[in-house]
Structure 1
């Protein structure tokens, strides 16, 4: 990859990608959870952290598998694809290994534990790496200058 063509994906574009992924995940998992547990699942009638085996499978296992498979096959989740971002090895710029991607997924939990500090870290890091990226040895890049064309006015 040529350095002139790419830049590190910053905090706000990555936040946008996360919002897209969260909405898509909800649109897939919510109907499954409602069909099994009813509407009470979402309105607080079920006080347990994990209501049952289907809850664990639908809210924890399947999303984890889906994310890691997307990362492996496309180097991005649908949200990252929407912003033209990809996850690559931080040293070589080549696709991240399966081991890196799996460790990156589980490192998210460490990054979120102290009040999301490891996620917010992206905003201040020179290479825009969150703790999950640093632990896995990955970076998120996107094509440089992917914004709209600059505004031009005719001078009178």
Structure 2
């Protein structure tokens, strides 16, 4: 069955907390207490690498190699190619990640789209041609993939 908004939101909370547990100590270690009171949006190159590049690369690698981020793994949901049911490609994963920004811009409407879409796809899923599924009763309930 397709994974709905609630479980996907829960997975994103878990992912955010894990990401903060990794990035905050690293930023504090490198920049010290001054990082938290700095008026600059970006403090330095390590800020960019840790705050932006690390999340991008790790998320894409998790999608490609595990079909899920840690939060999705904990909640037993997977990101799959909407046409084949396979793990998303690197290209799809990059498009999906960029699609997050598209989805959040109009007041999060692209994420809320999951609430009423028949395949529970957000705009980022539609852009990347992915779906998020949830196993049911030790197996996956049949999900329609468009095979061409």
* TM-score, reference length from structure 1: 0.84
Q: For the aligned residues, what is the CA RMSD?
A: 1.2
Larger of the two Rg values belongs to structure: 1
Contact 2:63 2:87 (C-alpha < 8 Å) held by counterparts = no
Deviation at 1:89, TM superposition (A): 0.8
- How far apart are the structure 2 equivalents of 1:143 and 1:133? 18
Deviation, 1:36, is 1.6
Q: Which runs of 5+ in 1 are unaligned?
A: 1-6, 147-156
Alignment counterpart, residue 34 of structure 1, candidates 28, 35, 51: 28
Q: How does 1:104-119 map to 2 (within 5 A)?
A: 104-119=96-111
Aligned residues: 138
Unpaired segments of 5 or more residues in structure 2? 139-148
- Counterpart of 2:135 in structure 1 is 143
Displaced runs of 4 or more, over 3 A: none
Alpha-carbon offset, residue 41 of structure 1: 2.5
Q: TM-score, normalised by structure 2?
A: 0.88
Match of 1:13 among 7, 14, 37: 7
